[in-house]
Structure 1
Amino acid sequence: MSTMRVGGLASGMDTESIVKSLMEVEQMKVDKLKQNKTYLEWQRDDYREMNTMLLNFDQTIFDGVFRQSTFTKKTVDVSDSTALSVKNINSTSEFTGSISIEQLATGSRLVGDSGRTDIDPNTLLNSATSLNLSGTQTIRVATQGKPASEGVEISFDPTKESLNDVINKINSKTGVSMYFDQATGKIGVSADETGAGNISLEDSTGTLFSSLNLTAGSTNLQTTDGNNARFTYNGLQLERSSNTVSINGVELTLKKETSGAEVTYSSTTDTDSILKEVVKFVDEYNKLIEKMGDEVKERRSKEYKPLTDMEREGLSEDEIKKWEEQARKGTLYGDNNLSSALNKMRVDIYSSVQGNSGLASLAEFGIKTSSNYLEQGKLIIDEDKLRQAISDDPNKLYETFMADGVTDAEQGIARRLRDTVKDTMGAIEQKAGKTSSGNDSFTIGRNLKNVDRQIDNWEQRLIDIEDRYWRQFTAMEKMIQQSNSQSSYIMSQFYQ
């Protein structure tokens, strides 16, 4: 129930201004809580931003130095690129070879002639403008020389499906591509894969294929069997069903027959590509530790606090932005999780990796920690030394990053770093949660809920306090009014 407010009628005081001034003092308690809430929200968001940066660094490792394919990149020279292309898949050593291509692999094909040009492939199969089929029918399709009885079985209803509907089923399920040419009434079928053998089509029930002259013995049926690729590789005669062949981790793609001539190829390490990935890793590492180091060292500015609503009203957007840049400082100052992560990552980087080939460290490859302590462990690359090390043995650098040992000393540097990043992200998530996290699931969220409760309680108290002030001033006005009335009565008695 609201209090009836009587303002200054008897006393002549500006009661509303007085109450407002009194309430401004009380409002300061709520403003302080709201400032605390704002700072907690900034802190939460800054922790989450740090986790995003850690996640991006982890992804950089995974996409780069974590993959063996990064360190097996090769530049391959081929004497006749029109006849052969060569791609390294997972060979860790250099390779050379020669090949002559006697025959390319081809796919089997069929061409049937229905003898009709009035077939509409989009009308139902039971209609006169199509094949006039009746009853549920079943067909079988086989490839690679298999008998039709071992092929894929497809059923269809001529009263519900058209020729194109059935063709779509065949194309999606059987390993062949079929096409009906309405203008000529012919239908072509080709195997999706190359290799020796033929295509077998059979009407298990019904007459679809026989109507299109696609079954064995049909009139004007043209058949072309598929062939295997035949080639001589380093003097060894080979045969494969595909024109793409993998040998010793190298992918060879046969493009044309060479009539007995040999095509030669050889590989060299793609030093530039590998170097680029390592430099990217170092750059991202340096950015991360610089950001983490700056955050844990930056102190909170006591002179700048989050602005209250009233303070904002008197400032421009630019002034607000500049103020908040200062007020937001120090949200992660001295954080134990980040400080520990920084120290652990430095150890991960400069500790040698113990393995079968002895000890290896990034310093051997020209990657060293800066001697300037102000740079917080920043990595410095001697590019000439790194380039030479990659050229000499890229696999050794890969092992230094990715060795999968039992002990921490035997673990590769990339594995160590990813473990440290994962642990740090988990600790930060417990403190600041994720965007999808409920406030009850992380520390700052629970603190925010507590502050919200205090704000709600204080805002209700402010209403009660303001009502109390008004009740007091209203009572005072009534007393003054009563006193004035009594004085007027007494004075009137003297003048009767």
Structure 2
Amino acid sequence: MAGIRIGGLASGMDIDQIVSDLMKAERMPLDKLTQKKQYLEWQRDDYRDMNKSLLEMDQLIFDGVLRKASFVQKTVSLSNPGALSIRNINSTADFSGTVQVNRLASAASMYSNGQSAIDPSKTMEGNGIDVQTLKIQAIGKDGNLGAAKEIKIESTDTIDMVISKINNQSDVSAYFDKATGKLSIISKNTGDIVGNSEISLDSDGNFWTAMNMDANSEAAIANNVGKGGVNASLTYNGMPIERPTNTFTINGVEFSLKAVTTEPVSFSSATNTDAIIETIVKFVDKYNSLIEKMKGELEEKRYRDFQPLTKEQKESMDEKEIERWEEKARSGTLRGDSVLSGAMNKMRLDLYSVVSGLVGKNQLAEIGIKTSSNYMDGGKLIIDQTKLKAALSENPNAVYDIFAKDGATTEEKGLGRRLRDTIKSTMLNIEKRAGKASSTNNAFTLGRNLTSIDSQINRFEDRLIKVEDRYWRQFTAMEKAIQKANSQSAYLMQQFS
């Protein structure tokens, strides 16, 4: 704790200002440490921002040119779109043919064989229904009988609560008509199970009996309180076939039946080159944007005369001056960085090299994508859309392989896979140097440097406190000596007078 400080009462000097000026000189090494810390923090943040851009590029490659679905997009023409819709799932070849819809698939259903005595306002216990487990078995999406679903009924449940449980926990939808006291059940899936019921009901209590429900849809049909499921019937390219649902897939193409027709519906497909080109354009634009950013960081000028501002310096400047100063002070944090320059060179090599193992087209130039002739662009890509469209129209699968072919070596891998490998290794190298938001300082190089600087700052601040105390002790001693001399002088003057 500092002792009593006498600020120039005897000497008439401005001791506060003198000590402050002396401490400014003493603080100069500390200011340099603080500025160095600020610069390292800027550098760390710029590295992490670069990693964010690399991650965005990685995700765009994965969701775009590496997805088979991006290259099998097709436009389908139909002579009667009101009766049928067709969507390509994974067929790489164009397709055509005819479909005549003879019958739509429908679901089995059944309802109460007479009015029940259920009071909707009462609980199961109030209606005399046991606490029990309902068992409901129904046709599945594949047209086969699914596993029985068990539903627990509590004594405190109302009929509305039971209906909700059935709808949420089984393969049927139930409805209780409070006006007639009847329960209806319909399968969630369409189709006919030959020789079996599409809906079967069981329980270890009296719920179904109380609802006057038959044991299954076959019994309900016999009692004229139900109907069976029906398969869709169609003639596909002249061949009669059946399916349990109105939506099904043939050879990677999804068909959805909408209405019965009296004559065949013709269909044909063509490669949707515009949609595929859009995917490739997004990839090229993102790559060019990344190259531009990396090139900008590597070539950004470093203004060594503009060091980060100290707190005292900021206090003497307005906001615009601070903004202009820090714009230059922060410039060039990644100038000439070896990790980024190495990544740029590797990315260029990834895209320009031939993909080995491919028959026919095996590099970007052959599908209309080449490098800019302006060396200032840093290797940006340019698309010849006419040539690219022709390549896609001829064989979209060949274009997909250029980007997405898998292989044991870099040479055998498609361009998109090569880029992802380079991006991931670059991000890992940057993380080793700058970490990520969740990293502790001792986990990466710049963090350890920042921790070291913090320790130096703390030690220097302790030293400054001691230096300032020493200055004040010295000036206080001087003030006391002057005060004592003044007192003696006054005493002598008094004696002589």
TM-score (ref. length: structure 1) = 0.94
Aligned to 2:173: 177
Q: Give the superposition deviation at 1:292.
A: 0.3
Q: Is the contact between residue 196 and residue 227 of structure 1 (CA under 8 Å) also seen in structure 2?
A: yes
Matched to 1:137, the amino acid is Q
Instruction: Name the CA distance, whole Å, in 2 between partners of 1:356 and 1:57.
Output: 25
Matched ranges for 1:77-226 at <5 A: 77-112=77-112, 115-116=115-116, 119-120=119-120, 123-127=122-126, 131-134=127-130, 136-144=131-139, 151-158=148-155, 160-197=156-193, 198-216=197-215, 222-226=225-229
Instruction: Name the CA distance, whole Å, in 1 between partners of 2:93 and 2:258.
Output: 25
Instruction: Name the CA distance, whole Å, in 1 between partners of 2:182 and 2:57.
Output: 58
After TM superposition, the structure 1 stretch with the greater mean CA deviation from structure 2, 370-379 or 307-316, is 307-316
- CA offsets 1:69-99 (integer angstroms, 9 cap, x no match): 1111000001111111111111111111111
Task: Report the 3-state secondary structure (helix = DSSP H, G, I; strand = E; otherwise coil) of the residue aligned with 1:410.
Answer: coil
Instruction: Name the CA distance, whole Å, in 2 between partners of 1:200 and 1:386.
Output: 54
> Is residue 2:55 matched to residue 1:55?
yes
Instruction: Name the CA distance, whole Å, in 1 between partners of 2:306 and 2:363.
Output: 46
> How well do the aligned residues superpose, as a CA RMSD in angstroms?
2.2
Instruction: Name the CA distance, whole Å, in 2 between partners of 1:201 and 1:208.
Output: 14
Matched to 1:327, the amino acid is A
Q: Give the superposition deviation at 1:355.
A: 1.4
Instruction: Name the CA distance, whole Å, in 2 between partners of 1:438 and 1:113.
Output: 71
The match for 1:392 among 389, 394, 407 is 394
Instruction: Name the CA distance, whole Å, in 1 between partners of 2:146 and 2:315.
Output: 84
Instruction: Name the CA distance, whole Å, in 2 between partners of 1:178 and 1:207.
Output: 17
> Is residue 2:233 matched to residue 1:230?
yes
Instruction: Name the CA distance, whole Å, in 1 between partners of 2:146 and 2:305.
Output: 86
Aligned to 1:7: 7
Task: Report the 3-state secondary structure (helix = DSSP H, G, I; strand = E; otherwise coil) of the residue aligned with 1:98.
Answer: strand
Instruction: Name the CA distance, whole Å, in 2 between partners of 1:12 and 1:310.
Output: 27
Q: Is the contact between residue 37 and residue 448 of structure 1 (CA under 8 Å) also seen in structure 2?
A: yes
Q: Give the superposition deviation at 1:406.
A: 2.0
- CA offsets 1:144-195 (integer angstroms, 9 cap, x no match): 399999733333232x222222222222222001111212212211101111
Q: Is the contact between residue 112 and residue 221 of structure 1 (CA under 8 Å) also seen in structure 2?
A: no
Instruction: Name the CA distance, whole Å, in 1 between partners of 2:124 and 2:167.
Output: 18
Distance 1:172-1:203 versus aligned 2 partners, 3 A rule: same
Distance 1:430-1:489 versus aligned 2 partners, 3 A rule: same
Task: Report the 3-state secondary structure (helix = DSSP H, G, I; strand = E; otherwise coil) of the residue aligned with 2:411.
Answer: helix
Instruction: Name the CA distance, whole Å, in 1 between partners of 2:332 and 2:281.
Output: 31
Matched to 1:228, the amino acid is N
Q: Give the superposition deviation at 1:493.
A: 4.5
Q: Give the superposition deviation at 1:241.
A: 0.8
Task: Report the 3-state secondary structure (helix = DSSP H, G, I; strand = E; otherwise coil) of the residue aligned with 1:210.
Answer: helix
- CA offsets 1:220-240 (integer angstroms, 9 cap, x no match): 761110011111111222111
After TM superposition, the structure 1 stretch with the greater mean CA deviation from structure 2, 71-80 or 404-413, is 404-413
> Is residue 2:250 matched to residue 1:250?
no
Instruction: Name the CA distance, whole Å, in 2 between partners of 1:478 and 1:455.
Output: 34
Q: Is the contact between residue 194 and residue 227 of structure 1 (CA under 8 Å) also seen in structure 2?
A: yes
Aligned to 1:372: 374
Q: Give the superposition deviation at 1:196.
A: 0.4
Q: Is the contact between residue 306 and residue 328 of structure 2 (CA under 8 Å) also seen in structure 1?
A: yes
Instruction: Name the CA distance, whole Å, in 2 between partners of 1:384 and 1:454.
Output: 63
Task: Report the 3-state secondary structure (helix = DSSP H, G, I; strand = E; otherwise coil) of the residue aligned with 1:360.
Answer: coil
Q: Give the superposition deviation at 1:444.
A: 1.1
Instruction: Name the CA distance, whole Å, in 2 between partners of 1:150 and 1:296.
Output: 63
Instruction: Name the CA distance, whole Å, in 1 between partners of 2:154 and 2:114.
Output: 20
Aligned to 1:439: 441
Aligned to 2:403: 401
- CA offsets 1:342-391 (integer angstroms, 9 cap, x no match): 00000001111111415611001111011211110011111111111111
Instruction: Name the CA distance, whole Å, in 1 between partners of 2:409 and 2:133.
Output: 62
Task: Report the 3-state secondary structure (helix = DSSP H, G, I; strand = E; otherwise coil) of the residue aligned with 2:397.
Answer: helix
Q: Is the contact between residue 213 and residue 220 of structure 1 (CA under 8 Å) also seen in structure 2?
A: no
Task: Report the 3-state secondary structure (helix = DSSP H, G, I; strand = E; otherwise coil) of the residue aligned with 2:212.
Answer: coil
Q: Give the superposition deviation at 1:201.
A: 4.3
Distance 1:399-1:446 versus aligned 2 partners, 3 A rule: same
Aligned to 2:38: 38
Instruction: Name the CA distance, whole Å, in 1 between partners of 2:27 and 2:391.
Output: 68
Aligned to 1:241: 244
Q: Is the contact between residue 404 and residue 412 of structure 1 (CA under 8 Å) also seen in structure 2?
A: yes
Q: Is the contact between residue 111 and residue 213 of structure 2 (CA under 8 Å) also seen in structure 1?
A: yes
Aligned to 2:286: 284
Q: Is the contact between residue 139 and residue 145 of structure 2 (CA under 8 Å) also seen in structure 1?
A: no
Matched ranges for 1:340-351 at <5 A: 340-351=342-353
Q: Is the contact between residue 233 and residue 242 of structure 2 (CA under 8 Å) also seen in structure 1?
A: yes
After TM superposition, the structure 1 stretch with the greater mean CA deviation from structure 2, 48-57 or 27-36, is 27-36
Instruction: Name the CA distance, whole Å, in 2 between partners of 1:410 and 1:212.
Output: 67
Q: Give the unaligned 5+ runs of structure 2.
A: none
Task: Report the 3-state secondary structure (helix = DSSP H, G, I; strand = E; otherwise coil) of the residue aligned with 1:142.
Answer: strand
Give % identity: 49
Matched to 1:389, the amino acid is A
Q: Is the contact between residue 116 and residue 210 of structure 2 (CA under 8 Å) also seen in structure 1?
A: no
Q: Give the superposition deviation at 1:137.
A: 2.2
Q: Give the superposition deviation at 1:30.
A: 1.9
Aligned to 2:454: 452
- CA offsets 1:91-136 (integer angstroms, 9 cap, x no match): 111111111111111110112155258721x631111xxx3224x3
Matched to 2:137, the amino acid is A
Q: Is the contact between residue 117 and residue 184 of structure 1 (CA under 8 Å) also seen in structure 2?
A: no
Aligned to 1:293: 295
Task: Report the 3-state secondary structure (helix = DSSP H, G, I; strand = E; otherwise coil) of the residue aligned with 2:356.
Answer: strand
Task: Report the 3-state secondary structure (helix = DSSP H, G, I; strand = E; otherwise coil) of the residue aligned with 2:461.
Answer: helix
Instruction: Name the CA distance, whole Å, in 2 between partners of 1:296 and 1:290.
Output: 10
Distance 1:449-1:305 versus aligned 2 partners, 3 A rule: same
Matched ranges for 1:351-366 at <5 A: 351-357=353-359, 360-366=362-368
Q: Is the contact between residue 138 and residue 146 of structure 2 (CA under 8 Å) also seen in structure 1?
A: no
Q: Give the superposition deviation at 1:491.
A: 4.2
Instruction: Name the CA distance, whole Å, in 1 between partners of 2:139 and 2:19.
Output: 95
Q: Is the contact between residue 201 and residue 209 of structure 1 (CA under 8 Å) also seen in structure 2?
A: no
Instruction: Name the CA distance, whole Å, in 1 between partners of 2:471 and 2:280.
Output: 71
Instruction: Name the CA distance, whole Å, in 2 between partners of 1:42 and 1:305.
Output: 12
Instruction: Name the CA distance, whole Å, in 1 between partners of 2:457 and 2:51.
Output: 30
Q: Is the contact between residue 141 and residue 148 of structure 1 (CA under 8 Å) also seen in structure 2?
A: no
Instruction: Name the CA distance, whole Å, in 1 between partners of 2:278 and 2:420.
Output: 20
Distance 1:231-1:64 versus aligned 2 partners, 3 A rule: same
Distance 1:189-1:483 versus aligned 2 partners, 3 A rule: same
Matched to 1:77, the amino acid is S
Instruction: Name the CA distance, whole Å, in 2 between partners of 1:211 and 1:88.
Output: 49
Aligned length: 488
Q: Is the contact between residue 8 and residue 477 of structure 1 (CA under 8 Å) also seen in structure 2?
A: yes
Matched to 1:328, the amino acid is R
Instruction: Name the CA distance, whole Å, in 2 between partners of 1:66 and 1:118.
Output: 59
Task: Report the 3-state secondary structure (helix = DSSP H, G, I; strand = E; otherwise coil) of the residue aligned with 2:436.
Answer: coil
Q: Give the superposition deviation at 1:288.
A: 0.3
